[in-house]
């Protein structure tokens, strides 16, 4: 499933808001055509990571490197970054209803991307927009061009947003909780849409979510984040089959199962996420059933087989 090479290489990416490190030296890679799931609870830093990649954060100090097509996204000049945003890297966000400008027709909003990055004229942009609408499953695309966001359903809005994000055929799509704000039935449709777009366009995708169920059918690999660090990364089926990190195990266990007994307690992970201060040692230790003396020292990512890494001293 990997394409012809490395698209994105993130090295020791750190994002700090004042003294707090929301993301603390994470590293991962993404190949062309690959879909990576970035999973974790709210506040673990996954959205911050994506925003940091296209430098949409302000008031944050970003350190480390993020190599993308020969350019370091962390350090590159703002003008070049603007070309990359929307052009080479697209991003979609969580709440489709508020992500579109309420006073501009949706067709114009999509066309704006095309005219900025591809310098298309009005007619060409219109034609391409219709094409994109068709591709994302917007019915009657010609009529939808002059519609305003408040006249569309949530699912329709998200389709338009996806169209906008892929308009210039970006090599990488960042999807930050794209289905969380949608109805369950629509969720599946949108996920399927994203999956097919990534597959057909040989586009890489980072799918950010707190819901492990979402990554199951869509991603090639998964990286699990906790309190600003990556605690485990593995090919998707291996992660589900044989999770090594106690946190991942806890996450998987806490997905309600149809075949669990009626009288059994639902498994949870005890405790709550601590503030993202630099806790010495393993950040998960306070809540970990396997915690021991050795966990006072922060564990590095250790290899557990082909392409499977986990940051835990006690994992086996």
Partner 1 sequence: MFDSVVGTLPAVTPPRRHASRLFFRHRLAALGLVVIVALVLSAAFAPWLSPYNPDDLDMANRYAPPLSAGHLLGSDDLGRDVLTRLMYAGQVSLSVGVAAMAVTVIVGFAIGAFAAYLGGWIDVALMRVTDTMLCFPSVFLLLFVAAFVTPSLASISLMIGLTCWMELARVIYGQIRVLRSADFVAAARMVGAPAWRIILRQILPNVMAPILVAATLNTANAILLESYISFLGYGIQPPQASWGNMLTNAQSDFLVDPWLALMPGLAITLAVTSFNFIGDGLRDALDPKMSRR
Partner 2 sequence: MGRFLVNRVAQSAVLLVGVSVIGFALMHLAPGGPLAMYTLNPTVTAQDIQRVKVQFGLDQPVWVQYFKWAAGIFTGNWGYSFFGGQPVREVVFDRLPATFELMGSALCLSLLIGVAIGVLSAVKRGSLLDHATAVAAMVALSLPTFWFGLLAIFIFAQTLGWLPAGGNHSTDGGGFLDGLRHLILPVAVLALVLVAQWSRYTRSYLLEILNQDFIRTARAKGLRPSRVLVNHALRAALVPLITLGGLQLPLLVGGALVTETVFSWPGMGLLFVNALGSRDYPVLMAILMVGAFVVVLGNLIADILIALVDPRAKIAHV
Nearer to partner 1, 51 or 205 (CB): 51
Question: To the nearest whole angstrom, how small is the minimum distance from the Cβ of residue 116 to partner 2?
Answer: 6
Question: To the nearest whole angstrom, how small is the minimum distance from the Cβ of residue 18 to partner 1?
Answer: 5
Residues 6+ positions from 261 with CB-CB distance below 8 Å = none
Phi-psi region of 13 (alpha: psi -120 to 50; beta: other; left: phi over 0): beta
Q: How far apart are CA 144 and CA 167, in angstroms?
A: 16
> In a 10 Å sphere around its CB, with 0-12 CB exposed, 13-18 middle and 19+ buried, how is residue 291 labelled?
middle
Question: To the nearest whole angstrom, how small is the minimum distance from the Cβ of residue 276 to partner 2?
Answer: 22
Q: Which among 113, 114, 112, 163 has a CA at the least distance from the CA of 137?
A: 163
Segment holding 293, helix H or strand E: none
User: What does 116 bind: partner 1, partner 2, none (CB cut-off 5 to 8 Å by kind)?
Assistant: partner 2
Strand residues in the chain grouped as ranges (E): 6-17, 20-31, 35-39, 61-68, 71-72, 89-92, 172-176, 204-209, 221-226, 229-235, 302-303, 309-310
Nearer to partner 1, 58 or 303 (CB): 58
Residues 6+ positions from 264 with CB-CB distance below 8 Å = none
Question: To the nearest whole angstrom, how small is the minimum distance from the Cβ of residue 33 to partner 1?
Answer: 32
User: What does 58 bind: partner 2, partner 1, none (CB cut-off 5 to 8 Å by kind)?
Assistant: partner 1
Nearer to partner 2, 150 or 257 (CB): 150
Residues interacting with partner 1, by CB under 8 A?
A: 17-18, 56-60, 78
Nearer to partner 1, 95 or 211 (CB): 95
Question: To the nearest whole angstrom, how small is the minimum distance from the Cβ of residue 151 to partner 2?
Answer: 8
Residues interacting with partner 2, by CB under 8 A?
A: 54, 56, 82-87, 90-91, 93, 95, 98-104, 112-113, 116-117, 148, 150, 161, 164-165
Q: Which among 8, 67, 62, 59 has a CA at the least distance from the CA of 32?
A: 8
User: What does 288 bind: partner 2, partner 1, none (CB cut-off 5 to 8 Å by kind)?
Assistant: none
User: What does 57 bind: partner 1, partner 2, none (CB cut-off 5 to 8 Å by kind)?
Assistant: partner 1
Longest dimension (CA), the chain: 67
Nearer to partner 1, 59 or 256 (CB): 59
Question: To the nearest whole angstrom, how small is the minimum distance from the Cβ of residue 43 to partner 1?
Answer: 15
Q: How far apart are CA 215 and CA 144, in angstroms?
A: 31
Nearer to partner 1, 60 or 234 (CB): 60
Q: How far apart are CA 63 and CA 80, in angstroms?
A: 18
Q: How far apart are CA 94 and CA 104, in angstroms?
A: 20
Segment holding 236, helix H or strand E: helix 236-241
User: What does 91 bind: partner 1, partner 2, none (CB cut-off 5 to 8 Å by kind)?
Assistant: partner 2
Nearer to partner 2, 67 or 148 (CB): 148
User: What does 84 bind: partner 1, partner 2, none (CB cut-off 5 to 8 Å by kind)?
Assistant: partner 2
Question: To the nearest whole angstrom, how small is the minimum distance from the Cβ of residue 297 to partner 2?
Answer: 39
């Amino acid at each position: 499933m990997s394409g012809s090479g490395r698209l994105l290489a993130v090295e020791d990416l750190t994002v700090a808001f004042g003294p707090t490190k929301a993301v603390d030296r994470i590293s991962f890679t993404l190949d062309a055509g690959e879909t990576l799931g970035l999973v974790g609870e709210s506040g673990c830093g996954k959205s911050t990571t994506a925003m940091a990649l296209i430098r949409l954060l302000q008031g944050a100090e970003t350190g480390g490197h993020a190599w993308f097509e020969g350019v370091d996204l962390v350090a590159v000049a703002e003008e070049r970054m603007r070309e990359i945003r929307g052009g080479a890297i697209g991003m979609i966000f969580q709440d489709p209803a508020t992500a579109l400008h309420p006073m501009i027709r949706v067709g114009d909003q999509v066309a704006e991307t095309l005219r900025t990055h591809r310098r298309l004229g009005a007619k060409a942009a219109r034609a391409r927009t219709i094409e994109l609408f068709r591709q994302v499953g917007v019915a009657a695309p010609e009529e939808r061009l002059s519609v305003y966001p408040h006249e569309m359903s949530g699912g329709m809005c998200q389709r338009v947003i996806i169209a906008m994000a892929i308009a210039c055929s970006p090599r990488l799509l960042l999807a930050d909780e794209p289905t969380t704000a949608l109805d369950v039935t629509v969720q599946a449709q949108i996920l399927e849409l994203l999956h097919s777009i990534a597959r057909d366009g040989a586009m890489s995708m980072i799918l950010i979510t707190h819901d492990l169920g979402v990554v199951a059918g869509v991603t090639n690999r998964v990286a699990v984040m906790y309190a600003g660090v990556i605690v485990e990364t593995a090919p998707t089926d291996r992660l589900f089959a044989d999770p090594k990190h106690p946190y991942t195990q806890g996450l998987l266990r806490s997905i309600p199962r149809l075949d669990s007994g009626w009288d059994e307690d639902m498994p949870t992970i005890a405790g709550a996420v601590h503030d993202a201060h630099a806790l010495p040692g393993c950040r998960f230790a306070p809540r970990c059933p396997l915690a021991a003396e050795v966990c006072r020292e922060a564990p590095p990512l250790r290899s557990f087989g082909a392409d499977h890494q986990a940051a835990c001293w006690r994992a086996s």
